[in-house]
Amino acid sequence: MPLHDQIKRRVSERIEPKEYEGDFGVVVSTGSTLLDLAISGGHVRGGGIPLGILVEIFGPSGCGKSVLLSEIAGNIQRTGGSIMFHDPEARLNAQFAKMFGLEITDKNYDAPDLVTQVFKGVRDWQPESKQGVINGVFADSLAALSTDLEMENKEGDKMGMRRAKEFSEELRKTCRIIKQKNYLMVCSNQVRVNMDAGPYGQKYVSPGGEAVGFYSSLRLRATRPEKIQSKVKVVGKEIKRPIGVRVEYEVFKSSVWKPYRTAPVTILFDYGIDDIRENLQFIKNYTKNTVYMVRDQKLDVSLEKSIAMVEDDGLESVLKDEVIDLWEEIESKFDSDRKPKIR
């Protein structure tokens, strides 16, 4: 039996716990093959995010949270689904959105100030798309949301207690609706230093109290971004410029599959997530190949030239399929051979 068929059979025969959350009838891609696999690759071939759940993406400033939200939202629209994009920081513009195939209109975009406005908006939302397609709600970012008390009172909500309470109340009501209506809700959040952590506490926390982390079925944590530099020669002089960032995402919490898998994600400033780059590098890293390859086709020793060859020859799907096969083969080595517990 060919290796590809063996791997597919192993995955299909794998017995999965019933407590996994989300509807895997249709999954949404993040735009990164390796991140999709890290999220649920052992549960469904190719991985991705299931419907009917709340997802929190958190990390430091500049790590690509807004890009990831926009990639997911654009993928939903391309399947014929509807989106609602809440943008408390009012940073999303039409030109940036177009980079991800994301169409923003007055009907699917707003810039709310309050916690209650976002979550009431989810409960009241009536998607324009027909039944049977993916519908998604996005909030970028939760850290920018405020409360009536904070907006009206000069003293504000000093301890953040009112905001934490509102997050808890609103999420408790809203997560039921997300599941019932089979929406996907994806939110971004910043991390801040926890001054009260002590030597054994959690060093970094995301704003909004404990509710966001508690109600999220999936939490993705981004590391601090590393700059990607490009070099060019102009009139004989070499010039360097940052053209993007490389971030590692960790599945920090998961009720949809196993947690703590990680995936590298490259984000180019004028392109978005560069899936081809990471896929080529993954295959080279985990095989004996001395040059970049797709299946049996040799490309080049240069990553940039290899990326161009993949695009020119239309090899994106073949490359992605090879990455999934290789990832599944690696993951199968970590399967437990333990005898099931006697109930």
Residue 341 within a domain: no
Least confident of 20-24, 83-87, 184-188: 20-24
At 148 the pLDDT is 77
State whether 302 and 258 are in the same domain: no
Residue 221 within a domain: yes
Between residues 95 and 158, the one the model is more confident about: 95
Is the per-residue pLDDT at 17 higher than 60? Answer: no
At 191 the pLDDT is 76
At 335 the pLDDT is 86
Is the per-residue pLDDT at 185 higher than 70? Answer: yes
State whether 44 and 139 are in the same domain: yes
Residue 74 within a domain: yes
Is the per-residue pLDDT at 11 higher than 50? Answer: no
Which of 268, 296, 311 is where one domain is finished?
268
Size of the chain in residues: 343
Is the per-residue pLDDT at 91 higher than 90? Answer: no
At 336 the pLDDT is 82
Residue 5 within a domain: no
Residue 1 within a domain: no
Please give the model's pTM, rounded to 2 decimal places. 0.89
Which of 239, 268, 297 is where one domain is finished?
268
State whether 291 and 231 are in the same domain: no
Is the per-residue pLDDT at 203 higher than 70? Answer: no
Is the per-residue pLDDT at 304 higher than 80? Answer: yes
State whether 228 and 159 are in the same domain: yes
Range of the domain at 308: 274-335
